[in-house]
Structures are given as structure tokens and as C-alpha cells.
Amino acid sequence: MIFLIARIVYGSIQILSFLVYSSLTLSGNELIDYLKQYEGRWLGDFTIHSTASGYSATFPVEQRYWWEEDQLHGISVSDTNNGLQSAKSLTFIQDDKLQSEVITGETTERFFGFLRDGGIVWISADMKRANDYQMVERFAMEEDRRLLLTEGFDSYVYAEGLAHLVYRGRLFKQDSKSAGD
């Protein structure tokens, strides 16, 4: 687990350097085509694990995405130990940069995204948090079903120092018949 965290942190430093010193190589239309893969209903699980305490929890998640007015809109609902949690997202391209706003309750977080290794790497727009938080989303196929994979980490301070919260998500795209649309 420590090796995984070290690898993720090292990778985040490389990605930050890449983001700061280069621009996106895809045109706006190519990014839009990539983002359109999100459209639809996704069901699956997320697992969160604390490296400091060993705490681990897996919970169901549903996400829906739709394209409207040149922006990807999303809503996510999860059933955690703290009850139902929801968030909204708005993803768009502005000044040739992929950006997303995630709204949870009264809090809005902003992220920059870029394509790397077949997925989108998201980092906080707040550069003070860019090394503390990172997420990668990519699409895959499993048993002829479309899969959205998410991996990431968040850092936090606790009594013994700095710790990491690692999370992984596996969401399967639902076809129109099973989506209930």
C-alpha cells in the first residue's frame, strides 16, 4: 500500500509538471467527443480506504451524465455509512482547458482535467491542493459492458501526521432498457 501511495504521489508531481508546462494536444471537438462517452446512467461501487487507520468501506453509487448547451452535466448519488450523499457536476472546455465544477451541498470545487494514458486526470484548480488530491477516470470494457473506472487519493492530516485516503470506483454503463429511461 505504501508503494502505491508513493507511486501515486510521484505520478501527481509528474502530472502537475506536465499540466503547467504544456497545453492540451486535442482540439475542442476531440475533447467533446471523448466527454460524450460519459453520457448515460452508470451503476456500481466505490471503495474508500484510509492508509492511516486501515478503515475501508465499499458503497453503491449511481451517476448520470447528459450533454446540454456545450457542457457535460452530471449527478452522483451514493449510499454511504453517513446516508445518501449527492453531488452535481458541470464539465466544460474554456480557453482550451478542460474544467469541471463539482457541487456538494454548499461547497463548489473546481478541477482541471487533461487526457493522459487513455483517461482523464483531474487535479484541483486550487494549486495548494493539487498535490494532495488527484483522480483519474478511464473507460474500459468488461464482459462486453462499458465500464467507468475511477482511482484517486486525497491527503489529510491526523494525530500522527499526513495520511492518504485512497478510493476506487467501478461503474457499469446501463443500457436504455435497464436504465429505466
- Tens digits of residue pLDDT in 81-133: 889 999 999 999 998 899 999 999 999 999 999 888 889 999 999 988 888 88
Q: Give 151-156 contacts, CB < 8 A, sequence gap 24+.
A: 152/122, 153/5, 153/8, 155/131
- Tens digits of residue pLDDT in 12-25: 444 444 444 344 44
Domain count of the fold of the chain: 1
CATH code of the domain covering residue 87: 2.40.128.20
Q: Is the dihedral of CA 57, 171, 86, 135 positive or negative?
A: positive
- Rounded average pLDDT over 31-35: 89
Q: Which domain holds residue 28?
A: 2-179
Cell numbers linked to 108: 463548489
- Tens digits of residue pLDDT in 159-181: 888 888 999 999 999 987 654 44
